[in-house]
Amino acid sequence: MPIEHFSRIISGVMTWGEWGKNLNTKEVAQLISHTVDQGITTIDHADIYGNYTTEALFGGGFKASSLNRNAIQIITKCGIQHLCPNRDNKVKHYNYSKDYIIWSAEKSLKNLQTDYIDLLLLHRPSPLMNPAEIAEAVQKLLKDGKILHVGVSNFTPPQTDLLKKHIPIAANQVECSITHTQPMFDGSLDHMISNNIAPMSWSSLGSVYKKDDERTRRITRVLDTLSKKYSATTDQLLLAWLLKHPAKIRPVIGTATPERISLAAKSVDINLELEDWFMLLEASEGHPVA
Point out the catalytic residue in the list 49, 52, 96, 230: 49
Cα distances (Å, whole numbers) of residue 88 to 20, 83, 85, 93, 163: 23, 8, 7, 12, 29
Catalytic residue status for 49: yes
Sign of the Cα torsion 15, 17, 23, 27 reads positive
3-state secondary structure of 3: coil
User: With b meaning 16 or more CB within 10 Å and e meaning fewer, what string describes 68-94?
Assistant: eeeebbbbbbbbbbbeeeeeeeeeeeb
* Bridge partner residues of 152 (DSSP): 122, 172
H runs (alpha helix) in 22-76: 25-37, 49-52, 54-65
Cα-based angle 46, 51, 55 (whole degrees, multiple of 5): 45
**How would you classify residue 39: left for phi > 0, otherwise alpha for psi between -120 and 50, otherwise beta?**
left
Question: Measuring CA to CA, how many Å separate 94 from each of 14, 85, 277?
Answer: 19, 17, 38
Which positions are annotated as active-site residues? 49
